[in-house]
Chain A
């Protein structure tokens, strides 16, 4: 088993640590290289800036961006809070709706047949492009942004959940049938656990989609949030603010992704590991 692709599975199954895993279970072999890469990149950035090789109006010196975090902390935090709220709210609403609808649709062949093709087509539609329309319907502010995020994360979760709910081996269904299990028991004991790897695959993609959509939607639909901050600071050539906002957005995206991964690990006891289905 490769420790690169599935570091957590092997450690969980063996109930202990494997080579490259520290005592706290942190896989340093995986964490260290990218951290060192970022450090090297920032160092290069600092050196090139100090030498005057990067124009200030494109990329200010790291010190200036760092200074922005301390000096403009309150402004960044306020806008970040709005964007996080929108992204997380949209993420939860969209995914919850997707899971519920996938469950309902998996019970009804007719509903599935009617809606499924459109869900498939939806992958070709840039959801953020609907922001102006949603602003007309919902007004400016948080609602259209949350709506854009919810719709954008809805479709991948719905499609994967439909596939996941249908993924369980027919042998499992036959076994539950002979045990006289109800549809609800079958859903709870077989179909939902079997669908979780599919759902989490979608959630991991959606975690970044949520923030990207929230930021882009804010350009058009809101006068608050990191997206708004990026547009404004770009217009006024406040480059340190622009870069600080981008860095904050990236960190927030990673935090949401980390939460998804933690949730997946916490649920592992009740779900199929990817290799087992």
Chain B
């Protein structure tokens, strides 16, 4: 592996991705580059279809990029997967319908060969953390979409991954649960000093959860803007009231909707955006 010093985080270098399905050719990513140092929290935001999931799936070794390199902890995604250094929470909470929630949350540990007692202990701990205590013996079909998503997060947490890759994990949740889980996740990240790469379409969620927010623009997908969020790692709900929060928000909104002059209904950001 061509590993360079200080290169233990997530690294995306000039990555391009072209999907070919028969006649149909889709250029999903072009020249994407992003460096996320180990221990940092980063978010990807962008319109749907601009390649956010593709980028995450490249890092998770589900698809191979057609050009460029992706590194997870200094090694290829395939090596990182074999070493089990990352966990992916995918956009659709993949719960096996024939397993109860406890068994679903245990799945990662079971695959990794962790013994029964230990995996039950760790699964129950993670279930409590995401607020699903009491639902261990329920089947996924008996839970709401948001609860299944939390179970998927719990499954990722049991693995104590160095890198946590999350694809719109809170998309199916209501605002209140969402913010509660945002801060729950921050606490877990600090405890485990994991590196986070989160895909979200919520600007405020991106700010709350990140040191770095990367904005992607569509067709073809590329990283058009990177905003550093200087809030440090001590974060509370009060950060939303910080004037700086609103400034980041409008900066990201501008970046997301293109430069001035591009057609968009609201040209000037107003404080009411903080409510969005």
Asked whether B98 lies within 8 Å of A193 as measured between CB atoms, the reply is: yes
Q: Does chain B have a CB within 8 A of A107?
A: no
A134 within 8 A of B: no
Q: Are B90 and A185 in contact (CB under 8 A)?
A: no
A189 B112 Cβ-Cβ under 8 A: no
Give Cα distance in the complex from A172 to B62, angstroms: 12
Q: Pick the contact of B94 from A171, A193, A271 — CB < 8 Å?
A: A171
CB within 8 A of A172: which of B84, B96, B112, B142?
B96
Q: Which chain B residues lie closer than 8 Å to A277 at the CB level?
A: 97
What is the predominant secondary structure among interface residues of chain A facing chain B? helix
Nearest chain-A residue to B138 (Cβ)?
A13
With a CB–CB cut-off of 8 A, which chain B residues contact A262? none
- Which single member of B62, B88, B96 contacts A190 (CB below 8 Å)? B96
Query: What residue of chain B has the Cβ atom nearest to residue A186's Cβ?
Result: B111
- Interfacial chain A residues near B84, Cβ < 8 Å: 179-180
Is B48 on the interface with A (CB-CB < 8 A)? Answer: no
Q: Which of A142-187 contact B (CB under 8 A)?
A: 169, 171-172, 174-181, 185
Interface residue? A73 (CB, 8 A): no
Whether A178 lies near B97 (C-beta < 8 A) is: no
B65-81 CB contacts (< 8 Å) to partner A: 81
Q: Does B15 contact A (CB under 8 A)?
A: no
Q: State how many residues of chain A have any CB contact under 8 Å with chain B.
A: 24
Residues of chain A within 8 A of B231, CB atoms compared: none
Interface 0/1 of B115-142, CB less than 8 Å to A: 0000000000000000000000001011
Contact partner of A178 (CB less than 8 A), chosen from B62, B96, B98, B139, is B62
CB-based contact A178/B60 at 8 Å = yes
B107 x A178 contact (CB < 8 A):
no
- Chain A residues with CB below 8 A from B62, complex form: 174, 177-178
Name the residue on A nearest B62 (C-beta): A174
Q: Are B81 and A174 in contact (CB under 8 A)?
A: no
Asked if A130 is at the interface of the complex by the 8 Å CB criterion, the answer is no
A269 to B81, CA, bound (A): 30
User: B107 and A179: CB pair below 8 A?
Assistant: yes
Contact code string A247-271 (vs B, CB < 8 Å = 1, else 0): 0000000000000000000000111
Chain B residues with CB under 8 Å of A176's CB are 111
For window 97-114 of B, CB contacts with A under 8 Å fall at: 97-98, 107-108, 110-112
**How many angstroms between the C-alpha atoms of A178 and B61 in the bound complex?**
7
- Interfacial residues of chain A within 6-52, with CB under 8 A of chain B in the complex: 13
| A-B residue pairs in contact (CB < 8 Å), sample of 17 | A174-B94, A175-B88, A175-B94, A176-B111, A177-B61, A178-B60, A178-B62, A179-B84, A179-B108, A179-B111, A180-B111, A181-B111, A185-B111, A189-B107, A272-B98, A273-B98, A277-B97
B: which residues have CB within 8 A of A?
Answer: 60-62, 81-82, 84, 86-88, 90, 92, 94, 96-98, 107-108, 110-112, 139, 141-142
Besides A174-B94, A180-B111, 8 new A-B residue pairs in contact (Cβ under 8 A), listed by A number: A171-B90, A175-B94, A178-B81, A178-B88, A185-B111, A189-B96, A189-B110, A273-B98
By Cβ-Cβ distance, the 8 closest A-B pairs, closest first, are A276-B97, A175-B94, A179-B111, A181-B111, A171-B94, A178-B88, A193-B98, A272-B98
